[in-house]
Structure formats: structure tokens, C-alpha cells
Amino acid sequence: MIFLAEWWDVRDLGNAVGELLEWLGDHGPDWLPYTASALVGAITIVVFLLVSLLVFAWLERRLIGRIQARRGPNRVGPWGAFQSIADAIKFVTKEAITSANADRWVFWLAPILVVVPALVVFAVMPFNEGMILADLNVGVLFLVAVGSVTAIPIFMAGWSSNNKFSLMGAMREVAMLISYEIPLVLALLGVVIFTNTMRMNGIVGWQDEHNTWLIFLQPLAVLIYFIAGAVEINRTPTDIAEAESEIVAGYHTEYSGVKFGMFWLAEYFAGFAIAAIIATLYLGGWTLWGLEEWVPGWMIFLVKLYGLFWFFIWMRGTLPRLRIDQLMGFAWKALLPLALINIFFAGLEVLLWQENDLAAEAVLPGFAIANLVLAVVLIVAWAQLLGRGRPQYRPTRARLVKELGAVVYGEEA
Amino acid sequence: MTMKSEPFVVNVGPQHPSTHGVFRLRLTMDGERIVDAEMVMGYLHRSVEKLAEGRTYTQNIPFTDRLDYLSAMSNNLAYCMAVEKLMGIEVPERGEFLRVIMAEFQRIANHAMAIGSFAMECGVWFTPLMWMFRDREKILDLFEMTCGARLTTNYVRIGGVSFDIPPEFMPAATALVKELPERIAEYESLLLENEIILVRSRDVGVLPPELAIAASTSGPVLRGSGVMWDIRKADPYAVYDRLDFDIPVGTRGDCYDRFLVRLEELRQSVRILEQALDMLPDGVASVEVPLALRPPAGEAYARIEAPKGELGFYLVSDGSPHPQRFHIRSPSFINLTPLRDMVVGLTIPDAVVTLGSIDIVLGEVDR
Amino acid sequence: MSRLLDGLEVGERIGQRVPEAVVEATPRWVVVHPEKLVAVATYLRDEGELDLGFLIGVTAVDQLDHFEVVYHLQSISQNHVLTLKTRALDHKNPEVPSLVSVWRGAELQEREVYDLMGVRFAGHPDLRRVFLWEGFAGHPLRKDWMEMPGGLTPGLGRFPRED
Amino acid sequence: MEDVGSIVAFWVLSVVTVGAALMVVAVRNLIHAVLFLILSFIGVAGLYITLSADFVAITQILIYAGAISVLILFAVMLTPRAARDNAETFLQLPGLVLAALVGVTVGAIALVTDWNEATRGPFSETAAAIGEALLDKYVLPFEIASVILLAAMVGAIVLVRED
């Protein structure tokens, strides 16, 4: 009985699948295991995402409730835990209105296509050593490519709605994605320079092998990637494309019911995707300095992923939103030069390392310290240059007076 | 090279998340820039001035609750002061102190809403608003304790107040006043030094003081432009002349300054409350006035520094039990006068922040 | 305390500067002729000692046979107030000059008065209705706005339980 | 191209690519045309995958579907509304002639060339090879291309500067 090999070992869910595929290969046509593995992987990813969504849609509201000194959902089920299911039922049962002047086909297609990029990203995401749907040798590039097409369904939604606010939101989104693509790619390039591979499992393996996480070697790149990623996923601090106080709901103003639910879904999926990318590339993926021998690797990965997603929730509950031109200026004036400097130093360090054939244990701590110092110095310098350094952007207080009738205008308090 | 673009019209409102109700701003855009702005209002017009002409002076007090429904106490106060001026009624000292206490609590509650929604206009996801709701809630609890209503209080009456405060009011109010400075420090740490709020509101929607005076703005909008003007000091009513407080003024006249002025007014209101609660005398809270008020023929204009600006009531009596003319000088409405000058040349996000910094309530704009 | 300017004294000063402008002056207010209104307002705003640069409010009162337009004025630097009035004697078609050129603050308020009371302000840059829609019949704050059956007018003649 | 999967994939992708390309010229709405163009780009990327050119395929999606299409969308959105349909123009006849010429040339080459039937080798990584070729053998064209792109970018910024 081949099934009884090791398949009950929870540390590696891949075992059971592997056994199944082997059995299929022995007993069926040769295309069968290929198809079966694709199906199993796809179903696993969708199920994982939907379950995470149900949990986090509720958890986020509870957490934001805590941040905002209120309770959050607490009526449906214990601690309101079934709130997301109630929401899902609401989305499905509500009427999905198509406005009279909408471009029907495009309007209908956009909410379907918008989910695709966020789903496809997980195809190259290693949940564990063997738990990866497609271990592409250009994995990092694949992430970037998939990220770059997210603009198109959003543009379709905004344009086909035939609403000025929708179109404005869509154009903002497209412009923003194009701008933030560049620092995003440059931040990922630092990883590739160090690990010398674009294969996701190879990057995780490199971090495991050198007993380090790339967040230590590339602190600036992580920050840049996190900010650019936050912009890409379009959640509240950087939700310029659906800024509710300005353009109502941006590109999905005209959507309702299950169509709106798809946008909402895609937003969460994209958030998980960005968190997964950071967890894999910068935080060692499914490895944790040997702990993966004892704890299932996918569990380590999920803890990292959810921990990072929590940062997005925290940001959402705290920060105001920049104006579109300020956000674009931030990409071009701050993130882009910082990313370029970061790449330059990463290349320099790797060159130094490889040319002199030094031992990794000797140089990597030095690089980590040097890069941390570099990150701090650059961030402080840029903040002085663009923000606080300018007199008008220093916080002031109202001046207190007792007399009446005079005017203080233009004087510094 | 100049880019040619077709101007297009964007309707911000009347159904829009950030117009504070059913206000409509018809913006003509040239690309990103606003080239013209037209205010369209009246969606909430309930003809209060006409209705009031058909009711007696006392019956009109509930109407004033529903003008600026976020600061009902102040509205009651201004109206009752106008009637008292018309009739020549003197209010007992305790009544005056209670009015000041309620008006200042109302100011804190109103500014909590104003600052919170201003922060939301800057794109925060509800957090400051919810934090401020905590304090507003406690203030509304005090109102409920005193007069049974939270929003439409109908508390200040002609000749005094409707009820004297219950015994549990003083401990609760003192505890709240002790707690508020900490809370305000918390808001300042969250909002005052927030770079994003700074870059969103600094030098946005600038209102120079000359225009602010010429356009009859009042309240935080006028003070944000650096004009030292506060009716509590300029034309003291109730017992404000016996209380010590400062007027916060801005120096640039932008949205950030208006926000700063409101933030500082919270502190000053707490100062006033500390003194007023301390000085509250014993005695009766109101004088008996006849139910059938027949003021002598004549006119009276009474005004107060409401949270949103100068709130005045102009009453003309012809000797009958109902006013011949009941005019409301509403600060929200008149503060909108320079809006067009402030938003032209800005983008939509800036216009929204500017509108938020003026702090309007549509019940008072449309009346 | 804001000082209430003596209407008689101010009326005299206006009379010296703009002859034949003052129709009536009492200690509490000054009534001027509508034709001289803009000149009087400009004088009140610019005269150094008066300096009434802040228009508190504009409103109108239906006095059944004529309309009275009331301006409350405030000096921010001197802290005194003055009530200025003018009368539109034609009750069917009341018209007074607009003061938007003197005080910007009159812009919305004159529109409001026009909308609800029907007083036309000549020279207003944008005199349209502000609360009611174009085409609304009549001006509701006028006492004769809605004639009720039997010649009654809306409003109470006496207090409900007075006798 | 022995295995069934590759052949099926090739035909499906070809139909999608060519069909979408035909729709680009056939549909009236310019935005629809751009969306079909994106579909065509993605089809080409799929064809690259069947040819084992993984790096080129991903780059095709990144550059064409992700960036070039957005560029075209911006170009369409910035044109006046009147010119935003795929109307018949006077360029129709020259276009047809040109298309016929290109078709004839491609067909002729396809028929004339003596094709080597390549057998599929093992799936190899192409990224490293492409990178080395770009920075070694073809470094001069690569650098010239980047300088031209930089000049174009600077020129674009200079053109739209407001002051």
C-alpha cells in the first residue's frame, strides 16, 4: 500500500499529494498526474485564499474596532465570527445593477478579471518545499508581470461604468500602478542580485542556507517594497483610486451586489499576495532557522503572511491619505532614487563578496549593518529634503491671544 | 507647450460621502484643476423662518434645535437671548452659568465632530472620528442626564433653563473635565504632527484675512485667517466676561490653521468649563415667564459665538404672540460665501479638504 | 461689550457726507434712502473712525406696505455695531441696490433675501434663488405669500390657550 | 512539436491571438480595440511559452500587456472625445495595400525557406543567457537603446512642463 508511506505526516502536506501523483503515474496515462497536480494546487490555493478572506474580513473589522475604541462586529455568531459569512450572503443576494449607459460586456467582464492577477500570483508562491504549483525559474519576474496587468481590469471597470468618478478613479489607479511599478521592481532586484536566482524556492533556499533573512541585508528595499505594495493593493492609506471622501468609491462606484463583492475580494487577495511576496522574498518563506524540521513549513509561512497583513490593517486604521500628485511625487522623488541607490550598494557588496571569494559568515553581518546604516541615513536625508526640512511643513500650534481686532497674518507663530 | 483639454463638470454631491449632508458643489474642471465652483443648496430647506412666524416664541425653541443639529444648546441659547432682549428679561446667575457650561460642552462636542470629519476628509479611515465620539458620547450623556435629550436638547428656555441640573451631573461633569485634557493631548499626538495631514492641508484653501472679514466669515474660519475676533470676548453674553480664556488664531489662513484653531478651542473650552463648574452659584436656575409671551413691538438682534461662528437671531415683534420676523444669521451658510475663491485652482481632493475645514451643517445652511 | 453706535450721531455724519441720504434716524438705527445706499455703505466702511468693515447680516422684514432691508454692521477694530436700514416702498416689486461691491458677505445673503422675500438687489452679480428652485411660485416669507380661504393669512392671531 | 498538448495549445493560442488582432481593426469602439490588443499580446506570450521561451513570455506580458497597453489607453483617453471611435478613414486603401504586401512577403518567406524541423530539447533557462548576451555581445545596441529612451523621457518631461 503505497498510501501508507508518510502521508499522514502533517509537517508536509505535499507527501500525500506526492503519493497520489505517483500512484496516478503508475496506473494512468502520463498526462494524468500533470493535470491532477495542477487541479489540486489550484483548488488548494483558492480554498486557502477564501478561508483566509473569511477569517480576515472579520478579524480586520475587529482589529480596526479596537484601534478605533469600539467593538466591531459582535452580533453574528460568537464574537461576531460569522460576520464575513453574513456579508458574503448579503453580497450574493443583493441586486447587481448594471447602469443603463454602461458598456455591458466590459462592465460585466471587469469584476471577473480583477480577481485573476491576485490569484495567479500564488501559483509561484512556495508554501513549503514541495508545495508550489509552478516553480518557475523566472518567478520574481512573473510576480512583477502579473502585478503590472492588474491595472487593466480596473481601467475596464472605471471606463465601462460611464461615470466621471469611476473614470477618474480608474485613471488614477492606472497612473499610480505605472509609477509604483518601478520602485517595486527595483526593490525586488536587490533580492535577485544577492541570491543570483529568480526561482522562488531558490530564494527561500538561499536564505535558509546562509541562515539569514533578506530583510536584514535589504532593509531599505523591504520598506520600499512594502510602501509600493501597499499602493498596488489599493487599501485605505493609499486608496487614491477609490478615495471615498473625494471620488465616492472610484472605479467601483457603479458596482453593486456580487460584482462589487468581486472587487472587495480582489482587494483582499491582492493584500495577501503582497504579504506572501514579502514573507517569501524577505522573511525566509517557509523556513525559520531549523524550526521547519518540527513545525509544518506552510504554517510558518502563513504566520509570516498573516503577520504582514496585519501591518496593512494597522496602516489602514491610522494613516490619512496623500493627494494623488503627492503620492506620485513620492514614487518618483523618494522611492525611485532610494531604490536605485540601494541597488547600487547591493551590487557593490555582491561584487566585493564574489570577487574576493570571502566566506559568507564573515561578510553578511557586515553587509547587514552597513545596509541598515545606509537605510537610516538615506531615509533621514530624504525626509529632511522633501518634508520636515521645509518650513511650511513643520507642525505649528494656534497662537493664543487675549486682545481683539488685530490681525496676525503671514507671521510665523 | 500648453495642453488643450475640454472642461468638464463634476457634481460633488448632493449624494457624496464628504459634503456633510446634501450640499452640492458643481465643479467645472480643466483637467485636474477646478476653474469654477458653484454652490447648490436648499435640499434640506424646511422654511424654519416661515414656520416660526406661525408659532409662539416658546414654541419656536425646538426649531432652533434642528438648525445646527450638532450644537443644539448654542442655538437654543442664541434664540432665547434674542427673546429676552426683546422682552427685557433678566436671567438668574445660576441660569447664566448653566447656559455657559452647556454651551461649552456643546462646543467640545461640535468640534470633536468637526475635527474628526476633517481628518476623514484628509483620508483617515474613521479612527480620529471614532476616538472623538468617545468624548462626544460622554457629553451627550451629560445632556441626557440634564434634559432627557441628547441631540435636540431644547434645554435653554426663555428666562433660564428648562431644568436645574440633577445631583449626579456635577461629579460626572467634573470627572469629564479632568479627563478631557489627556484626551486632547491624545488627539494632538495623532493628528497635529501627522505629516500627511500637514501636506494635505497646509497652504490649501487659503483665505486671506481681508477676504475673511469682507465675506462676513466668523468663528474658526475667521480666526484661522489670523483675525483676533471672538464674540465671547467682543460682546460678552451670559457670564463670559467673568471667565478667563484665550482666543486661538492662525497665521496663514489655510485649512491646517482652521484645524489648529478648533483643536486649541477644545483646550480653551475645557478651561472655561473648569472655571464655570467651580464658580457655579446656588439659587434658582430660571425666572418665571408667562406662557403667553407678548413682547412689545420692536426688534432685537442677539448673537453668540456658536461653535461654527457668529450665530444671531433677529426678531421683529409687532406685539402679537408670534414673531413678525424671525431671521437666523447662520454661520454655516455665511461662511460658505468665500468658498469659490478658496477652491478655484485647487484639485478635487483639496476642495473636499477645504469644505471640510469650513465645517458646515446642512440643517443650518438650508434652514 | 460691543458699543452700540448712536444712530442720531451717525445719521448726522452721513448727512454731512452724503446729503439727503438719511430718511430717519433713531438712537438704535439709521434708515437711509435706497438710492444713496451704496454711497452710504462705502462711507461707513471706509471712514476711519467708523470702520464698519464687517457685515454681520442682511435681512428683510415685510412691513405689509413696504419692505425694510436691515443691515447689521460691525467694526472689528473699534468693536462697535450699527444697524442700517433701507426701505423698498413698492410692495409689489421691491428693489434696492446690491451691496456686494461693498461687502462680499452680502453675496449669499442677498440671494437668500431675494429667494425668500422677493426683494430684488440691483447690481448683484448672480441674483438667483438659493434655496428654492427656479420657477417656485412666489416668495414664501412675504406675508401675502399664500392667501388662505376667507382672507386669512398663515400664522396665529392669538395664543392658542390664551383665553 | 510531437505531443498533443503543445499542438492544442498552439492552435488555441493562435486562434486567440489572430482573432483578437482582427477584432482590433474590426471593432468600432477604440477602447474595445485596445482591450482586444491586450488579449492579442497575452496570446503571443502564450505562444512564447509553447516555444520554451519563458523569459521572453513573461517580458511580453510585463512590457506589452502591462505597460504598452496602458500607454495606448492614456493616448486614447487624452484624445478628444470626437476622435475616440475606430471610424473609417482615408488611410483605408493604403492600409489594405500595405497589409497585402506584408502578407505576401511573410507567406513567400514561409514557403521559400527550407525549415529545419527542430526537435524539442530539454527545458532550459533562458534568462541567464539573455542577460549575458545583452551585457556582453550586444552591449552597444543595448546602451544606445537606453540612451535613446532616456533622451525620449527627458524630452517628454520638458515638453509638458508647465512653466
ipTM of the complex: 0.80
**D32 within domain boundaries:** yes
Residues of chain C contacting A404 with CB distance shorter than 8 Å: 76, 79
Chain A residue closest in CA terms to D127: A138
Residues of chain B contacting C104 with CB distance shorter than 8 Å: 211, 214-216, 337-338
For chain A, the straight-line distance linking the first and the last C-alpha, in angstroms and rounded, comes to 83
**C155 within domain boundaries:** no
Residues B12, B279: Cα–Cα separation, whole Å: 48
CATH number for the domain that contains residue D51: 1.20.120.1200
| Domain hosting residue B119, numbered range | 8-366
User: Does the distance separating the beta carbons of A198 and D127 come in below 8 Å?
Assistant: yes
> Which residues are registered as beta bridge partners of C57?
C72
Residues of chain B contacting D81 with CB distance shorter than 8 Å: 6
Return the C-alpha cell found at B181: 485634557
Pairs across A and D, CB distance < 8 A: 59
Residues composing chain A: 413
Rounded to a whole number of angstroms, the distance from the CA of A394 to the nearest CA of chain D is 27
Bigger pLDDT: A99 vs C85:
C85
Q: At what angle do helices A164-195 and A336-356 cross, to 10 degrees?
A: 10
Contact present, B54 and C160 (Cβ < 8 Å) = no
Q: How far is CA D57 from CA A201, A203, D42, in A?
A: 21, 21, 9
User: Does the distance separating the beta carbons of C72 and B321 come in below 8 Å?
Assistant: no
**C142 within domain boundaries:** yes
Mutation site, B9, B25, B27, B228, interface A, largest A CB count within 10 A:
B228
Contact present, B289 and B197 (Cβ < 8 Å) = no
Rounded to a whole number of angstroms, the distance from the CA of A406 to the nearest CA of chain C is 7
pLDDT tens readout for residues C119-141: 888 888 888 888 888 777 778 88
CATH number for the domain that contains residue B139: 1.10.645.10
CB-nearest to B249 from A243, A319, A408 is A408
**D121 within domain boundaries:** no
| Domain hosting residue C124, numbered range | 3-149
**Amino acid at residue number B265:** E
**D106 within domain boundaries:** no
**C70 within domain boundaries:** yes
Domain definitions of chain A by residue range: 94-390
Q: Please state, as a whole number, how many other Cβ atoms lie within 10 Å of the Cβ of residue B17.
A: 17
**Residues 6 or more apart in contact with residue B100 via CB below 8 angstroms:** B238, B239, B240, B243, B272, B276
Contact of B8 with chain D, judged by CB distance below 8 Å, is answered with: no
Average pLDDT over residues A265-269: 88
Return the C-alpha cell found at C96: 434696492
A and D: touch, per 3+ CB pairs < 8 A?
Answer: yes
Residues of chain B contacting A319 with CB distance shorter than 8 Å: 123-124, 194, 196
Contact of A401 with chain C, judged by CB distance below 8 Å, is answered with: no
Residues of chain A contacting C79 with CB distance shorter than 8 Å: 404-405
Q: How far is CA C95 from CA B329, C90, C118, in A?
A: 22, 8, 9
CATH number for the domain that contains residue C100: 3.30.460.80
Closest among B84, B120, B338 to B222, alpha carbons compared:
B338
Number of domains making up chain D: 2
pLDDT tens readout for residues A332-374: 888 889 999 999 988 888 888 888 877 777 778 888 888 888 8
**B2 within domain boundaries:** no
Q: For position D144, what pLDDT does the model report?
A: 93
Residues of chain B contacting D80 with CB distance shorter than 8 Å: 6
Place of cell 444713496: C36
Q: For position D102, what pLDDT does the model report?
A: 93
Residues B98, B164: Cα–Cα separation, whole Å: 8
Same domain flag for D31 and D77: yes
Residues D27, D36: Cα–Cα separation, whole Å: 9
User: Does the distance separating the beta carbons of B366 and C155 come in below 8 Å?
Assistant: no
Residues A401, A409: Cα–Cα separation, whole Å: 13
Which residues of C make CB contacts under 8 Å with A?
76-79
**B1 within domain boundaries:** no
pLDDT tens readout for residues A200-240: 888 888 888 888 888 888 888 898 998 888 888 877 677 77
Residues of chain C contacting B49 with CB distance shorter than 8 Å: 116, 141
Contact of B6 with chain D, judged by CB distance below 8 Å, is answered with: yes
Number of domains making up chain B: 1
Phi and psi angles of residue B203, each rounded to the nearest 5 degrees, phi first = 60, 25
Same domain flag for D18 and D84: yes
Note the pTM of the prediction, 2 decimals.
0.84
Contact of D31 with chain A, judged by CB distance below 8 Å, is answered with: yes
CB-nearest to B246 from A245, A402, A409 is A402
Torsion region of C79: left, alpha or beta (phi above 0 gives left; psi -120 to 50 gives alpha): left
Q: Please state, as a whole number, how many other Cβ atoms lie within 10 Å of the Cβ of residue A400.
A: 14
Contact of A78 with chain B, judged by CB distance below 8 Å, is answered with: no
Same domain flag for D133 and D77: no
**C159 within domain boundaries:** no
| Domain hosting residue D21, numbered range | 4-88
Name subunits touching B (3+ CB pairs < 8 A). Answer: A, C, D
Mutation site, B25, B29, B187, B251, interface A, largest A CB count within 10 A:
B251
Contact of A405 with chain C, judged by CB distance below 8 Å, is answered with: yes
Q: At what angle do helices A297-318 and A257-282 cross, to 10 degrees?
A: 120
User: Does the distance separating the beta carbons of B1 and D160 come in below 8 Å?
Assistant: yes
Q: Is the pLDDT of residue B190 over 90?
A: no
**Amino acid at residue number D83:** A
Residues A203, D68: Cα–Cα separation, whole Å: 30
**Residues 6 or more apart in contact with residue A151 via CB below 8 angstroms:** A173, A174, A177, A178, D66, D70
For chain C, the straight-line distance linking the first and the last C-alpha, in angstroms and rounded, comes to 41
C and D: touch, per 3+ CB pairs < 8 A?
Answer: no
Residues of chain C contacting B299 with CB distance shorter than 8 Å: 61
Mutation site, B46, B51, B86, B213, interface C, largest C CB count within 10 A:
B213
Contact of A113 with chain D, judged by CB distance below 8 Å, is answered with: no
Average pLDDT over residues D19-31: 84
Place of cell 434645535: B65
Phi and psi angles of residue A283, each rounded to the nearest 5 degrees, phi first = -115, 20
pLDDT tens readout for residues A128-175: 777 777 777 788 888 888 888 888 888 888 888 888 888 888 888 888
Residues composing chain B: 367
Number of domains making up chain C: 1
Contact of A98 with chain D, judged by CB distance below 8 Å, is answered with: no
> Which residues are registered as beta bridge partners of B302?
B313
**B160 within domain boundaries:** yes
Return the C-alpha cell found at D37: 490588443
**B99 within domain boundaries:** yes
Please list the pLDDT of chain C residue by residue as tens digits (163 residues). 777 777 778 878 887 887 877 788 888 888 888 888 888 888 888 887 888 888 888 998 888 888 889 999 888 888 888 888 888 888 788 889 888 888 888 888 888 899 888 888 888 888 888 888 877 777 888 877 766 555 555 555 554 554 4
